[in-house]
Chains A and B, each alone.
Chain A
Amino acid sequence: MDSSDWQAVTLTLQLGGYTTLILLVIATPLAWWLARQRSWLSAPVQAIVALPLVLPPTVLGFYLLIWLGPEGFVGATLESLGLQHLAFSFEGILIGSILYSLPFAVQPLTESFRQISQGQLDVAATLGAGWWRRFWTIVVPSCQGGFLIAATLSFAHTLGEFGVILMLGGSIPGETQVLSVLIYDHAEAMNYQAAENLSLGLLLFSFVVLMAVYTWQKRPTGGARYVAR
């Protein structure tokens, strides 16, 4: 492993970490709305959230490249404000990762919010707990499992992301060259030993993370059994 390999490892972990944090913030209210409100908008919103599950990543990457690039409406707007457009940048692939992993955060959270007892929330309100306190004292402890699964899947799925990043970010060391892209570059350059080192590392790491989650889930208080179904 040379320094460019380590740079890719750091970049990948950063991308996964930021994606997971931002996704938890975005997906929580979205999942809450999907789980608790009946609206004609629910079905179209659910469909949009699930799109990354079925679309080839190249399609998502292609549209993002157009929109975030210098000619696209987001990129052009940023440039007119004196900022940089987002194609081939870390911020760009971060946005791509968030969209790409959105269903993996929203779906477990929606499922776990559906299990929450409205009775407990009503009681908490009559006992003087405002919205924020109800969320932290009732929702979060009851949905620990859902949050853990959402975070793990978002993180792991971001590690495995390839197509979107290649389309949108290219392979710029230290900026957009994450592990999956670097492995591809190594293999293309016939540098099989380096590719294998990184591949094996990623394989073991992913296995350990998933195993840890499923072990935790099996505990009697682990909750979130719905994911195992």
Chain B
Amino acid sequence: MLHVDIELQRGDFRLQLAHQFAAHKVTAIFGPSGCGKSTLLRSIAGLEPGLRGTVCWQNNIWHAQERIVKTEQRGIALVFQQPHLFTTKTVEANLRYGMPRASVLKACAMQFEDIIELLSLQPFMQRKPAQLSGGQQQRVAIARALLSQPQLLLLDEPMNGLDQAAKSQIMADLKRIQQRFALPILLVSHHVDEVVQLADEVVIMREGKLLSTGTLQQQVGQLSLHDEGPLSVLSISPGDNNQKDGLLAWQLGQQTLWLPTTGLPANSDSKRLLVWARDVSLATGPLKNTSLNNQVRAQIVGFERAQHDAEMVVELAVGEQQLRALVTKASIERLNLRAGYCVYAAFKAAALH
């Protein structure tokens, strides 16, 4: 468990934050550029001189007035926005740089061959960093961090500058690694999809301060404030393995959803379904003639202002879960939507994680 209560002044920017980060989970640190996310990670890593306050990891004091543990003795790894590979060394030498001695490594969680295979680095081992693409370099940086057997992994927008394919690949790998080794991760990001895919907990920052914090489900409303408008995250569990026309059945409470099978691990547990509010439409009765596959019964809980004056965000309850729909005020009038009414919500899922 990581406890942070720190203060740092840099010119006219001030970082001031106190938080206890959950153990064995992924905490996403989310916020606009320049809000101090990276500085927070660097402070935890011990890379910011002039830091005041305390940083405690489990029962060890890493930073306090009378005692500062050096970065190299904290047992962390930090993956930066840039890969920062050691340019004079081969990929293999980069990977081995932080690895424990062979005798110690035997007892460690993350073995050399496993990580190489997981991140598909075998073909590049003898190359120099300059001969790799940006995505390959970032994969090497992540593998190098993991192989140092960190007890805490800090990721500072590690997917920056990667194309979508490389990004999904790395995010899936990170999720798998995290689950397998119960590795605590702090992930700095300003992309909602990264947060939704990886995070268990979310810390929202604004101008050097903590704005709010909670589980991913609790913080979905806050995530909406930054990126591509409001969204919902639904927890779904596998149905009775019914496949039909390339679609797989999932349970959302009592109701069934049909989602494309492609790319899903077969024995999946509960999943997170990311749905943008703009992709949800409402109807007062079940829709028959629609191309949208998924329709659920939902109850209107309330209304919120949207960014555009002509629109409203409709808050819906689907069983225990919350779904948001972005609807024009005109439609709300026309359909006579009121809190407490039952409607049918049809939507297109943006991503399943």
Question: Which A residues lie at the B interface, using CB under 8 A?
Answer: 117, 119-120, 122-130, 137-138, 141-142
Contacts and interface: CB of A to CB of B under 8 A. Distances in A.
B84 A127 contact: no
Contacts of A123: 78, 80, 84, 86, 141, 144
Contact of B77 (A117, A127, A138, A141): A127
A124 B85 CA distance: 10
A130 B141 CA distance: 19
Contact of A124 (B46, B97, B141, B154): B97
B82 A137 contact: no
B290 interface: no
Nearest to B98: A127
A130 to B, nearest CB: 5
Contacts of B72: 125-130
Contacts of B145: 126-127
A124 B47 CA distance: 12
B78 A120 contact: no
Contact of B84 (A117, A129, A142): A117
B148 interface: yes
Nearest to B82: A119
- Please classify how large the interface on chain B is, using the bins under 10, 10 to 19, 20 to 34, 35 or more: 20 to 34
B42 to A, nearest CB: 8
B352 interface: no
A120 B98 CA distance: 13
A122 B78 contact: yes
A122 B88 contact: no
B76 interface: yes
B126 to A, nearest CB: 16
Given A123-B144, A126-B45, A129-B97, 5 more contacts: A122-B80, A123-B84, A125-B70, A126-B98, A127-B98
B53 to A, nearest CB: 20
A125 B46 CA distance: 10
Q: Is the interface of B mostly helix, strand, loop or mixed?
A: loop
Nearest to A141: B88
Contact of A127 (B82, B87, B88, B97): B97
A142 to B, nearest CB: 6
Interface in B63-122: 70-78, 80, 82, 84-89, 97-98
Q: Is the interface of A mostly helix, strand, loop or mixed?
A: helix
Interface in B14-58: 45-47
Contact of B148 (A127, A138, A142): A127
Contacts of B47: 122, 125-126
A205 B87 CA distance: 35
Contacts of A137: 86, 97
A142 B88 contact: yes
10 contacts: A120-B84, A122-B84, A123-B78, A123-B144, A126-B71, A126-B76, A127-B72, A127-B148, A128-B148, A129-B72
A92 B61 CA distance: 52
A130 B74 CA distance: 11
A123 B76 CA distance: 10
Interface in B175-208: none
A42 to B, nearest CB: 18
B78 A142 contact: no
Contacts of A125: 46-47, 70-72
10 closest cross-chain pairs (CB), A and B: A127-B98, A119-B84, A125-B71, A141-B88, A126-B78, A123-B84, A127-B148, A125-B72, A128-B72, A130-B72
A130 B80 contact: no
* Max count, chain B CB within 10 A of own CB: residue among A123, A124, A142: A123
A197 B70 CA distance: 59
B78 A138 contact: no
B144 A127 contact: yes
A138 B86 contact: yes
B80 A119 contact: yes
Contacts of A119: 80, 82, 84
A120 B77 contact: no
A75 to B, nearest CB: 43
A119 B156 CA distance: 13
Contacts of B77: 126-127
A13 B240 CA distance: 86
Contacts of A124: 86, 97
A175 to B, nearest CB: 43
Contacts of B76: 126
Contacts of B141: 123
B188 to A, nearest CB: 15
Contact of B98 (A128, A130, A141, A142): A128
A137 B94 CA distance: 11
A137 B72 CA distance: 15
Nearest to B74: A126
B117 to A, nearest CB: 21
Contacts of B75: 128
